[in-house]
Structure 1
Amino acid sequence: MGPQRIVCLTEEPTETLYALGEQHRIVGISGFTVRPAIARKEKPKVSAFTSAKIDDILKLQPDFVVGFSDIQSEIAAELIKRGVEVWISNHRSVDGILDYIQRLGALVGAAQRARDYADGLRRGLDAIERDSQRLQRRPKVYFEEWDEPLITGIRWVAELVRIAGGDDVFPRQAAEPLAKHRILADPAQVIPLAPDIVFGSWCGKKFRPERVAARPGWDAIPAVRDGELHEIKSPLILQPGPAALSDGVAEIARIIQAWARR
C-alpha cells in the first residue's frame, strides 16, 4: 500500500503523484507549487523551499515527507527528530529525474505506471533530440539561474539544452551540484564565450533582458546583439521533475529552432 499521508516539500513529487493518479495520498504541498494548478486549490501549503511550518506539517499526521537537496536538510532533520519518515532526493541529471519518478512511483505501489510515465517522457526527449540533429548549426547557449550573483545552469538544464540542439558554454560549472560552485565571480567571463542565445530563469523573479543587455561589455555578445535573450519560467525548468522534461525542454527547443531558421 505504501505511505497514505504524504507531504511534498517541493513541486516535483506533487506533479509526479498527480500524473500517476496518486494525488489522494498528498496532504500538504510547497507554497511554490504551480503544477498541476489544481494542487494549489486542493492541498494545504505548508512549506517554502528553505523553510517549513513544522507544526502545521505535524498536524497533518504525515507518514512520509518528500523533499529535495541539501538545502532542505535542516527541515528534514527537524522532522526526523519529531518521528517523521523523510526522503530527501538529490538527483541532478535527466537520468536522475527519470529514476526519481520511478522510485517515487514504486514507493506508492504504482511502479508500472511510473515506468510507463518515465518511458513516455524519455520518448519525448528522444524525439526532440532527433529534431535537433537536423540543425545546420548548433547555438552556443548561456543559461543564467540567478543574476545577483550570476549563477549558471545546473546539470539537468545543460543536458536539456544539449538535447534541444544547443551547447552550454559552462559545462564544467554545470557538473557542480551546489549553486555556490556555479557562481561566476565576474560577469565578464561570459563575453569571450560569445553565446548565441541567453536563457534566463531567475528562480522566483522575472527575468529582465534589458538588465542583461546593459551589463558592461555584453553588447559584444551575439545573443545581446541579436536580441536572443529569453526567459524560461522557473517552474518549467528549475524543478527536477516532469515539467523540465516536458514543457521546459520543449520551450528551449522552440527557441533554438527559431534561432536556427533565422
Structure 2
Amino acid sequence: MTTTIGPRRIVCLTEEPTEVLYALGEQERIVGISGFTVRPPRARKEKPKVSAFTSAKIGEILALEPDFVVGFSDIQADIARELVAAGVEVWISNHRSVAGILDYIRRLGALVGAHARAEAYAREAEAHLAAIERAAATLPRRPRVYFEEWDEPPITGIRWVAELVRSAGGDDVFPERAVMPLARDRILADAGEVVRRAPDIVFGSWCGKKFRPERVAARPGWSAIPAVRDGELHEVKSPIILQPGPAALFDGVDALHAVIARWTLGKAKA
C-alpha cells in the first residue's frame, strides 16, 4: 500500500507551483489554480481558476477544501491572511533570485514527497543555465540591457531577470535597482536615467499586457538611446520571464539569449 506524502489538495495562487507540480507528475494534487496560468497549457483545461494575482475567490477556494495553498510574495499577503483565518495552511514564498527559484523547486518537491524528482528537475535547470552561460561566454561583446517590467510608471527588472540577462550574455543597466525586492523601489522617477545609461537592447515585459515598442521609442529624449536608434526593442512574454519559476530558467533565458546573441554577432560583422 502506497502512502501519500504531504498535502493532497493544493490550491496554487500563482503559476509557478502549478508548473512545478505538473513537471514532477504531482498534478493530481492540484484542485485550483490562478487565472493567469498558461503553463502547462493543459492546466487551464483541467483545473478550476480561483485567483488572480492580487485577488482571489476565497469562498470558491474554501469550497475546494484545500489542505495547502501556495502563493508568492507580499502582494498576496491579504489573500493569505484570509485563508489562514479560515483555518487553511498557506505557504507564501518570497524568492527573488535564480538561486531562490531553484531552491523553490526543491522545497516544493520535498513537500509532496517528490524530493528525487525535484532534485533532478532543478539540476536540469542548472545544466540549462550553464549551457547558456557557456554560449554567452563565446560572444565577442556584451550589450548593455534595459529590462522594463511595467511602463506607466517605468519599472526596472527584478533580481532574477537581471541575473538571467547576465547569464544570457548582457549586462543590466540598473543592477542597483534589481536587488530591490519590491516593485515600488524599482520605479524610475526620472525616465531620462535610461537615456543616460544608453542601453544597446531594451526588453519589455509589461506584466500581462502587450509591449509597445513604438511607444517606448516615442518617449521624450529616447531617440538618443542606442537600442531605440537601432530598433533593438524586444518583447519577452511575461509568463516566461516574470514568473519566479521554471519557465524563466528555460524559455525565459533562451529568449533573452537569442536576442543578445543575434545583436552581438551582428555588431561583430558590422
Determine which of 110, 113, 124 is the counterpart of 2:114: 110
Q: Write the distance in 2 (CA, Å) between the matches of 1:249 and 1:63.
A: 34
1:153 maps to 2:153:
no
SS at match of 2:148: strand
Q: Deviation of residue 247 (structure 1)?
A: 0.2
Q: Write the distance in 2 (CA, Å) between the matches of 1:190 and 1:12.
A: 31
Q: Write the distance in 2 (CA, Å) between the matches of 1:89 and 1:200.
A: 25
Q: Deviation of residue 230 (structure 1)?
A: 0.1
In structure 1, the partner of 2:15 is 11
Count of residues paired in the alignment? 262
Structure 1's consecutive aligned runs of 4 or more residues displaced over 6 angstroms after TM superposition are none
SS at match of 1:146: strand
For each residue in 1:130-171, what CA deviation from the matched residue of structure 2 results, as whole angstroms up to 9, or x when unmatched? Answer: 010111110000000000000000000000000000000000
Q: Write the distance in 1 (CA, Å) between the matches of 2:240 and 2:262.
A: 19
In structure 2, the partner of 1:24 is 28
TM-score by length of structure 1 reads 1.00
1:133 maps to 2:149:
no
1:167 maps to 2:161:
no
In structure 2, the partner of 1:239 is 243
1:257 maps to 2:255:
no
CA contact (8 A) 2:159 2:179 kept: yes
SS at match of 2:96: coil
Q: Deviation of residue 186 (structure 1)?
A: 1.3
Q: Write the distance in 2 (CA, Å) between the matches of 1:80 and 1:222.
A: 50
Q: Deviation of residue 209 (structure 1)?
A: 0.1
Determine which of 191, 197, 203 is the counterpart of 2:195: 191
CA contact (8 A) 2:140 2:265 kept: no
1:79 maps to 2:115:
no
In structure 1, the partner of 2:234 is 230
Q: Write the distance in 2 (CA, Å) between the matches of 1:231 and 1:65.
A: 32
SS at match of 2:150: strand
SS at match of 1:256: helix
SS at match of 1:65: strand
In structure 2, the partner of 1:121 is 125
SS at match of 1:72: helix
Q: Write the distance in 2 (CA, Å) between the matches of 1:236 and 1:68.
A: 16
- Listed as ranges, the gaps of 5+ residues in structure 1 are none
Q: Deviation of residue 81 (structure 1)?
A: 0.2
Matched to 1:193, the amino acid is R
1:39 maps to 2:46:
no
Matched to 2:132, the amino acid is I
Q: Write the distance in 2 (CA, Å) between the matches of 1:238 and 1:102.
A: 20
Matched to 1:197, the amino acid is I
In structure 1, the partner of 2:220 is 216
CA RMSD of the aligned region, Å?
0.3
Matched to 2:75, the amino acid is I
TM-score by length of structure 2 reads 0.97
SS at match of 2:92: strand
Quick one: percent identity of the two aligned structures? 76
SS at match of 1:144: strand
In structure 1, the partner of 2:105 is 101
Q: Write the distance in 1 (CA, Å) between the matches of 2:121 and 2:214.
A: 39
Q: Write the distance in 2 (CA, Å) between the matches of 1:53 and 1:137.
A: 49
Determine which of 209, 213, 220 is the counterpart of 1:205: 209
Q: Deviation of residue 261 (structure 1)?
A: 1.3
